Structure 1
Amino acid sequence: MFRKLYDWTLRQAASPRAEPVLGAISFVESSVFPIPADVLFVPMCLSRPERAMRYALIATVTSVLGGIFGWAIGLWFFDLIAQPVLEFYGKLDAFNALKSETGETAILVMLVTSGLSHLPPMKVVTILSGVVAFDLKLFIISAIIARGGRFYLLAWLLQRHGLAITGFIERRLPWVALVTCLALAGGAFLLKH
């Protein structure tokens, strides 16, 4: 099933309706969809580099709106919607483990790291943020920074370096995410003390 979804997503990159599909996937990826928007975003930027920043804007706006939707699911519809979705994707245990670390700083760090690197998965963190009633304004600001930062940086790199950068990103993304997490944790520590 996941392979079919993945293949369908890749076919959409070449479609004349690629932009609306990118927006839709970016929206649902932040709350329920298992495939990251990158699988559509990257091919679109590579095929039309002059539109990369436009694609970044579409992906950022719809991803943040999808995150707000995930937050609302967690706040008002966890038992009805979120729990079955998390069980379906096998993420309920990860969700429960994250729920035990519900301090505001922990949620903020998870929002930023999931927005930048999908670690932990964005849909889990957005729903968790709603479950613990994380401040919506802070949620939106962190989502804009993390998701916007990710999409705009990726768009700029793909515009500038094209195919050469995709291999670099794929090989080193966990290290980039780790360095980003450490920097964010250090920044949160400094702000708190």
Structure 2
Amino acid sequence: MFRAMYDWVLRMAHHRHALRSLAAVSFAESSFFPVPPDVMMVPMVLARRDQAYKIAAVCTLASVVGGMFGYAIGYFLTDVARTMLEFFRHNAFDDFTAAYNKYGWALILVKGLTPIPFKLVTIASGLSHYPFALFVLLATITRGVRFFLVAALLKRYGEPVQAFIEERLNLFAWGFLVLLIGGFAAVAYL
């Protein structure tokens, strides 16, 4: 079931618009799209290990710019969020904002490394009016570490990793879907 999609992404890695497509997915994932850029980045790096760091740089830059857009979404929805949270509990929004501004740095750094959708952090940062320059700095660090680490590992161990993934493609694809859905569920119920 996943083989055709995997083969298509590998073919797209050599397409003249591959980096633009990756940038679009990375941008969108940081602000509104549910699928992380790893779905495209990993096969692209495996197909073009000589460009691993260029691919990671594009992915990082687009993710940070998309995060700025996600921040703006949250920032301009502050009144809506305040009204919704205050409906459930008095001072809920103020409590959220105080907690986020105290621990936001840790949330940004940790969640930026995980498969949990980064857009949740970017929008929450905007909602709480977290200091924008600090948000951009932390987002750049966490997304850069994530994407450059993946690129470095795939560049170094590409052939065995590619063989391992291809032999267990369905297992990886289903595992990724479970992690993605689990991430959304964790955010919704925690």
Distance 2:160 2:107 in 1: 30
Aligned to 1:54: 54
Aligned residues: 150
Do 1:99 and 1:128's aligned partners in 2 also have CA atoms closer than 8 Å? no
Picking from 101, 110, 114, the partner of 1:113 is 110
Q: Are residues 135 and 59 of structure 1, via their aligned partners in 2, closer, same or farther at CA, if it must alter by over 3 Å?
A: same
Q: RMSD value over aligned CA atoms?
A: 3.1
Structure 1 runs (4+) greater than 6 angstroms displaced: none
Q: Which amino acid aligns with 1:48?
A: R
Do 2:46 and 2:158's aligned partners in 1 also have CA atoms closer than 8 Å? yes
Distance 1:18 1:52 in 2: 13
Aligned to 2:76: 76
Distance 2:161 2:105 in 1: 29
TM-score by length of 1: 0.67
Aligned to 2:183: none
Q: Which amino acid aligns with 1:116?
A: L
SS of 1:34's equivalent? coil
Distance 1:54 1:43 in 2: 14
Q: Are residues 132 and 43 of structure 1, via their aligned partners in 2, closer, same or farther at CA, if it must alter by over 3 Å?
A: same
Structure 1: state its 5+ residue gaps: 83-95, 175-193
Matched, 1:122 2:118: yes
Structure 1 vs Structure 2: percent identity of aligned residues?
Answer: 38
Aligned to 1:155: 151
Deviation of the 1:108 alpha carbon: 1.4
Residue pairs, 1:153-192, within 5 angstroms: 153-165=149-161
Structure 2: state its 5+ residue gaps: 82-92, 166-171, 180-190
